[in-house]
Amino acid sequence: PMPLSASNDEMSSVEEVILLAQGIQTLPPDGISLKQHLIDIERNLIEQALSRTQGNVSQTAKLLQLQRTTLIEKINKYELRGVA
pLDDT at res. 82:
64
> What's the CATH number of domain 33-84, 3.30.429.10, 3.40.50.10190, 1.10.10.60, 1.10.1660.10?
1.10.10.60
The residue ranges of every structural domain in the chain are 1-32, 33-84
Cβ–Cβ < 8 Å for 10, 1: no
Alpha-carbon distances, residue 48 vs 4, 9, 30, 41, 71 (angstroms): 28, 29, 29, 11, 13
The per-residue DSSP string of 24-66 comes to -----TT---HHHHHHHHHHHHHHHHHHHTTT-HHHHHHHTT-
The per-residue pLDDT for range 22-37, each reduced to its tens digit, is 666 678 888 888 899 8
Share of the chain above pLDDT 90, in %: 49
The ranges of the chain with pLDDT < 50 are 1-2, 6
Amino acid at 19: L
68 Cβ contact list (under 8 Å, min separation 6): 57, 58, 61
pLDDT at res. 63:
96
Q: Structure pTM?
A: 0.67
Cα gap 21→43, rounded to integer Å = 12
